[in-house]
Structure 1
Amino acid sequence: MSGIELGLYGLAFLLLLIALRMPIGLALIGVSFVGLWMLTSWNVAWGALGVIPYNFAANWVLSSVPMFLLLGYVSFHTKLTEGLFQAARVWFSVLPGGLAIAAILGSAGFAAVSGSSVACSATMGRIAVPEMLKSGYDPQLATGTVAVAGTIGALIPPSIIMILYGIVAQVPVTELFLGGIAAGLLTTVGYIVVVLVRVARNPALAPSTADKASWNERIAAIRETWPVVLIMIGIFSGLFGGLFTPTEAGAVGAALACLVAILKGTFTWERFSTAIKETVLTTGALIIIGVGASLLTRFLALSGTGDFLSELVLESGASPMTVLLGVVVLYLLLGMFLEPIGAMLLTLPIVLPMIDGAGFSLLWFGIIVTKLLEIGMITPPVGMNVFVIKGIVGKTVSTGAIFKGIWWFLVMDLIVLGLMITFPQIVTYLPRVWG
């Protein structure tokens, strides 16, 4: 059996294991180890299993992942973000669907201290969904809005997905963060447009709250957002001003979150220990998947399968745009069944050479991949954000109703994706000017 045949059989078996619901990290490590053993020898496979995990885990940029995770968990458990929704509510409740718009803007604000879609949905879900339902909002609109608004969490920096992509694709994380700002803001505006259009067509979806806040109330609400604003200023001014690297930014952000929580009086050792435990568990899971992806990359490289698949696509005569659209469809399909980071690390060893060979910018593609993976967070049957919201609302709203609530937003996601593909400068302008 040739190396390429072995590699293709390995990929097929890997997909089978994932379809059988085996954890992605373990499936990647197991298939890659056995493949390297059959391709070379037992000693080489064991050697790779000893060296590659160390090389991956020793990447200095990777240390920013637990720090940004800790930043998000501390902010969540010490309730630093509660003022975001209330401030947006006071300012925008006069608009059609004002509470839904407030939930979107609150999620965008929380994204700047989180980097996680699930965390965004969980936080805003607990605050915004009960408020909207109490105000008579249509359950589909209320739950669907918060589920999709959570996807902004991985677009606006800091973003765990972008950090891992930068490590694998060898793209500067700071530039990815800058590109993500435009994508996140465009997505936010798109979601607000959806709410405005839907409520304009059917005002019964979102009854007017009729409470017009005074300017004193608006200013007071803005003051309550100071914890997040202070953390954002601390992180972004230092990161984009060149005072510290993305790796150091994570540590600075986590330290700032703890300091702000102490100043606000919401810091307790119990909450801090819970944040630490969740950070350790999440980081461990991510590292296992990352190690598996690194082993798969080595296996595909030694077997020649990666180059074979890339050349097969590029020499087929397909145009670069056709190649890109094929990759887009691949990620949309994978997003229906796999969690985002696993799907990304599983495919990048194969997809990156194709994209690079087709002449596309890997920086720009990183933002496109992030957007595609976030779309997968809301598409059935495994839309993680949808099930997060379902866990919050319980029997009040059915899972099917929440999925129905996301369809208008999903159309807007595809429009935003189309704009970023048609006009790459939307993503690349800030990295080019500021990076």
Structure 2
Amino acid sequence: MENEIVGLVSIFVVMGLLLMRVPIAFTLIFVSFVGISLILGPRQAWGILSVIPYDFAAKWTLSSIPMFLLMGYMAHHGGLTTGLFAAARLWLSRLPGGLAIAAVLGCSGFAAVSGSSVACAAAMGRIAVPQMLKYNYAPTLATGSVAAGGTLGALIPPSILLILFGIFTETSINLLFIASIGVGVFSAVSYVVMIVIRTWLNPELAPPVDDRPSWRERITALSEVWPVLVLFGIVLGGMFAGIFTATEAGAVGAFMTILISFFKRTLTFSALKDTLVETLSTTASLFFIAIGASLFIRFLTFAGTDDLIAEIILQLGTDRIVLILGLVGVYLVMGMFIDPLGTMLLTIPLVMPVLDKLDIPMVWFGVFLVKMLEIGMITPPIGLNVFVLKTVVPRDITLGIIFKGVMWFIIIDILVVLLMIFFPQLVLFLPGFAQ
């Protein structure tokens, strides 16, 4: 039992260090090394520390992460996503809250080629928020729609979080991507319905836009969206058709993004340099954190803490619904203080034994987990998307205004999560066709 107690204490130590804003990669590696030293001895700990990082980084499936990041950053710096909001604005501006709807749909399109919520919020924040403020939209609605819409980048494939979840839990990334499409589209539609109802009941939130674009302008705007549609179709279509794997899809997407940027003459030296620098720095950061998580998972296994926690939960007689509802509360609280990747990698080793014994499908749980992490990205006091958006909007828009704006979207997200829990086929319907 002593080893299990060491593991339990280490979990609280990790949580404490993260709340003190110690970098998550350093926290996981340091605590894992000390814990393994206490259980097996310092010599064995050094041996494990020398082996696990290489074993983890050598996994072939991890190569998809830098490739999808390269695709997303190239699409952004190559200007392939700049027409998304403009096209949506011209087609939807006459609807109640049309510009906010355009922001959400623009974020959905950006998410389809970037896989990054932060990049999505930053890019669309620069474009969409000034446009909405220009037409006297309430700052809460303008910023809330972009901050919440940006979270779709974590859910709509290619999602870096889903890739990492699939690697750590040995779950099919293809099935995770297929399942996330349905939930991602449903989330975007739910946002749109909420915006329409709110602005219809309270027109002051989004005054009618007097612009009357011609059909020619609308069709011309659609011509700027084709790069995103082509990338989305080739990458996901080829992957789901079995032409190439999820790992190979990243390389195909990165190559196609560079090729399209070249033909559009937006592939400048500056764009390529920024793309490569951001891809390398983000990849290094993700790998460093993931290596720390691998060490922590191995440490908890040596300590037997994961099995102990599973036994405690199961002895309480908890059924599936109660367990998942409990996890909703846990993830909402953790999302307020810990970044999404840290939350995912910290909790996977603790909940997996319970999920296995209760026969909860890992595909369903993966999408559920990423959806909860998505909510954490806009939850106060540390909503990552909110802070990123604050850096690109006018100075007179405070964090309080943005957090107030996202509250309606958080309510919608929680309703979507409850539907996922009580109607799991919302997630498993599409993967059922692929199996």
**Fold similarity call, TM over 0.5:** yes
Q: Secondary structure at the match of 1:395?
A: coil
In 2, Cα distance between the equivalents of 1:114 and 1:382?
23
1:138 maps to 2:138? yes
Q: Which amino acid aligns with 1:283?
A: T
Deviations 1:261-305 (A, max 9, x none): 111111112211111111111111111111111111111111111
Q: CA deviation at 1:343?
A: 1.0
Aligned to 1:209: 209
CA distance in 2, matches of 1:69, 1:134: 33
- Partner of 2:22, secondary structure, is coil
Q: Distance in 2 between matches of 1:273 and 1:40?
A: 46
SS in 1 for 2:114: coil
Q: How far is the alpha carbon of 1:356 from its aligned partner?
A: 2.1
- Cα shift at 1:180: 0.5
Deviation at 1:34, TM superposition (A): 0.8
Whole-angstrom CA distance in 1 between matches of 2:14 and 2:237: 43
Corresponding position of 1:300 = 300
> Is contact 2:375-2:413 (8 Å) kept?
yes
In structure 2, distance between residues paired with 1:82 and 1:413: 27
Task: Name the SS of the counterpart of 2:379 in structure 1.
Answer: coil
Normalised by the length of structure 2, the TM-score is 0.98
Distance in 1 separating the partners of 2:37 and 2:111:
43
Distance 2:14 2:106 in 1: 39
> Residue 62 of structure 1 corresponds to which residue in structure 2?
62
Identity %: 50
How is 1:281-360 mapped onto 2 (pairs within 5 angstroms)?
A: 281-360=281-360
Greater mean deviation of Cα atoms: 210-219 or 116-125: 210-219
**Is 1:45 the counterpart of 2:45 in the alignment?**
yes
Query: Once the 2 structures are TM-superposed, how far is the Cα of residue 148 of structure 1 from its aligned partner?
Result: 0.3
1:379 maps to what in 2? Answer: 379
Tell me the CA shift for residue 358 of structure 1: 2.0
Post-superposition offset of 1:213: 2.5
Contact 1:113 1:231 in 2 (8 A): yes
Cα distance in 1 between the residues matched to 2:334 and 2:356: 21
1:27-81: CA deviation from partner (whole Å, max 9, x where unpaired): 0000001111110112211111111111111111111001101111111111110
Q: Structure 2 CA distance, aligned partners of 1:7 and 1:214?
A: 65
- 1:240 is the counterpart of 2:243: no
What does 1:111-190 correspond to in 2, within 5 Å? 111-190=111-190
Describe how 1:263-274 pairs up with structure 2 within 5 A. Answer: 263-274=263-274
2:197 aligned partner: 197
CA contact (8 A) 2:73 2:275 kept: yes
Counterpart CA distance in 1 for 2:8 and 2:273 is: 45
- Which whole-Å deviations, capped at 9, do the CAs of 1:236-256 have from their partners, x for residues lacking one? 221111111111100111111
| 2:420 aligned residue | 420
Write the distance in 1 (CA, Å) between the matches of 2:363 and 2:77.
33
Matched, 1:280 2:280: yes
RMSD over aligned CA atoms reads 1.1
In 2, the alpha carbon distance for the partners of 1:247 and 1:336 equals 32
How many residues end up aligned between the 2 structures? 435
Please say if residues 293 and 349 of structure 1, whose CA atoms lie closer than 8 Å, have aligned partners that are also in contact: no
Is the aligned partner of 1:89 residue 2:112?
no
Q: Could you tell me which residue of structure 1 aligns to residue 218 of structure 2?
A: 218
SS at match of 2:158: coil
Partner of 2:110 in structure 1?
110
Deviation (angstroms), 1:87: 0.9
Q: CA deviation at 1:227?
A: 1.3
SS of corresponding position for 1:406: helix
1:59, 1:327 → 2: CA distance?
30
Shift of 1:163: 0.0
Q: In the aligned structure 1, how far is the partner of 2:303 from the partner of 2:76?
A: 45
| Aligned mates of 1:400, 1:178 — CA distance in 2 | 36
Contact 1:87–1:218 (8 Å) recurs in 2: yes
Matches of 1:260 and 1:184, distance apart in 2: 26
Q: Which amino acid counterpart does residue 193 of structure 1 have in structure 2?
A: V
CA contact (8 A) 2:96 2:196 kept: yes
User: 5+ unaligned residues in a row in structure 2: which ranges?
Assistant: none
Q: CA–CA distance in 1 between the matches of 2:94 and 2:385? A: 28
With normalisation by structure 1, the TM-score equals: 0.98
Looking at structure 2, the residues matched to 400 and 75 of structure 1 have their Cα atoms a distance apart, in angstroms, of 31
Find the aligned partners of 1:229 and 1:378 in 2 and give their Cα distance: 27
Most deviating of 355-364 and 147-156: 355-364
> Which ranges in structure 1 are unaligned for 5 or more consecutive residues?
none
Look up the match of 1:75.
75
- How far 1:396 moved relative to its partner? 2.6
- For 1:29, the aligned partner's letter is I
Matched residue type, 1:427: V
